[in-house]
Amino acid sequence: MQRIPKIHSVCLTLIAICMLGRPAIADDRPNVVWIIPDDMSAHFSCYGETAIETPHVDSLARTGVQFNHAYVTAPVCSTCRSAFITGMYQTSIGAHHHRSGRGTEKIHLPDDVTMVPKLFQDAGYHTSITGWPLNGRLGKTDYNFEWNKSIYDSADWTDRKPDQPFFAQIQTQGGKLRGKDTKGWNKVAASARQLFGESTPIESVVLPPYYPDHPDIVRDWAAYLDSVRMTDAMVGEVVARLEEQGVRENTLILFMTDHGISHGRGKQFLYDEGLHVPLILNGPGIEPGTTRDDLVEHIDIAALSLAAAGIEIPESMQARNILGADYQPRDSVFAARDRCDETVDHIRSVRTDRFKYIRNFLPNRPYLQPCAYKDAKAILIALRECHAADTLDDNQSLIFRDIRPEEELYDLSSDPHELHNLAADPKHQTTLVALREKLNDWMAETNDQGRTPESKTQYESDMKVYLDTLRIRSTPEHLNTVQRNIQWMKTMAAEGK
């Protein structure tokens, strides 16, 4: 069991009294606030972004601790959120398929897994989850299992009792602010001009080398950077509210995104564009101006937050208290991608400080399988147009492979964009074998439930909910696309692909 770190002054006697439900004169345990935007990579000034300025996130980093190598274990919303809210790998708790358990076939957590808000609540904390600005409604949860809404006391931490410590989550739109096409780009640009005096200039955009210099892709990236600026401003508003209420000094603020940018090689895939996220901690007991370059996983926020509040970390929890005095740094981090909406997939990866190993369990499928959610984005339409016109270079064409290599290996020190697969290189066979075995061991030790294909009944159950929702909220064209994609997935499975 992990020891509770001494990152603040806590009266152990008072904690015991609070846990017993007896009244106390005061409660000086720290508040814990999570700020988690959607769909956003580490494109902040403190992480090296030069096209924009992000003063509020930078301030948190400057006066707190910045983790330069934090990675999600799942590059899509619901699986990522199911993992960090339990401190467990989504593959270990059966929550690895995106938006699963929504129909008649339910997913239940193992008996020894308790959600983090419940642990805080049982310890006497007020728990809340909201969006920003506050709107009186519970914020984004998106968990892939059955859960009781009573684990959240309200949508606003100010609803707590006098002197009661609080655990608050603020879930924001982040990269989703830019939308999927011109309409969204114009909207976020207008918001940026209103708030900052100007939107992000197109000429300031520098694309990764695996994306072509297409006008729509450049404009989308500029809109994305505006969404980063808007997110930064929101962070400033949250901090100001804490200061106005006189609780800032005793509040641990955690800033992290739920996965990387939604783009061709980002969200839903296991390259660093989809997995690498910012992680910044600021508050009592945190040494100002600290940077850490060790590898950490996004589920670790569960353990460190409990420990900061003096709450015992469950023995079964896979998250680690990365602030603990006895913490042993990881030598690798793991990630998994499974079904996303209607699109069936099965990919696993392990990353060390230098190498990334990816295993594609469905190598006979194209990299960009049909996916109505992503295919509706203007950037994917532009990529497909460029591919059809044969204007992409070799690096930009990688995502249009008809089949995939079963194994991918990248030397991140010389190839940070993961473009040159070394899996067949004789010089790297020792590394390949070592990482292959490391991934095998992790899947076995953590009971990776993705080793067994999703049942037909589970898929049909979730697809019914998906289609019924689209019939209400979407267009007939989009609905038809999803139906065609579902049939395509069934055909591929029937052919053993």
Give me the residue spans of the domains in the chain.
12-336
- As a whole number, mean pLDDT of residues 75-96 equals 98
- What's the pLDDT tens digit per position in 169-185? 999 999 999 999 999 99
Cβ neighbors of 495 (< 8 A, separation 6 or more) are none
**Beta carbons of 393 and 411 less than 8 angstroms apart:** no
CA 81 to chain centre: 7
Question: What is residue 7's predicted lDDT score, i.e. its pLDDT?
Answer: 40
| Tokens at 193, concatenated | 């001009």
Is the predicted pLDDT of residue 122 greater than 80, yes or no? yes
- What's the pLDDT tens digit per position in 339-378? 999 999 999 999 999 999 999 999 999 999 999 999 999 9
DSSP code per residue over 121-176:
HHTT-EEEEE-SS--SS------SS---GGG--BS-GGGSPTT--EEEEEEE-GGG
Closest CA to 73 of 368, 270, 317, 342: 270
Strand partners, 168: 33, 128
| Tokens at 488, concatenated | 């395509």
Cα separation, 383 vs 365, whole angstroms = 19
Is the predicted pLDDT of residue 8 greater than 80, yes or no? no
Strands 65-71 and 276-282: antiparallel
Cα separation, 149 vs 127, whole angstroms = 11
Residue with tokens 């490391």: 438
Cα separation, 266 vs 375, whole angstroms = 14
Cα separation, 398 vs 452, whole angstroms = 28
- What's the pLDDT tens digit per position in 275-292? 999 999 999 999 999 999
Which numeric CATH code is attached to 12-336?
3.40.720.10
Strand partners, 349: 335, 358
- What's the pLDDT tens digit per position in 12-33? 333 333 443 433 346 999 999 9
Is the predicted pLDDT of residue 458 greater than 50, yes or no? yes
Cα separation, 205 vs 480, whole angstroms = 36
Strands 407-411 and 333-337: unpaired
Neighbours of 61 (CB within 10 A): 26
Closest CA to 335 of 368, 297, 374, 302: 297
- As a whole number, mean pLDDT of residues 219-240 equals 98
Q: What are the distances in angstroms from CA 353 to CA 14, 188, 260, 432? A: 42, 36, 19, 15
The rounded percent of the chain whose pLDDT value lies above 70 is 95
Alpha helices (H) in 289-393, listed in sequence order: 300-308, 372-375, 378-388
What does pLDDT average to over the chain? 94
Alpha helices (H) in 419-455, listed in sequence order: 429-445
Strands 166-172 and 31-37: parallel
Report the length, in residues, of the chain.
Answer: 497
| Tokens at 469, concatenated | 């929702």
- As a whole number, mean pLDDT of residues 147-167 equals 97
Question: What is residue 26's predicted lDDT score, i.e. its pLDDT?
Answer: 66
CA 356 to chain centre: 19
- As a whole number, mean pLDDT of residues 268-272 equals 98
- As a whole number, mean pLDDT of residues 31-44 equals 98
Confidence of residue 149 (pLDDT cuts 50, 70, 90): very high
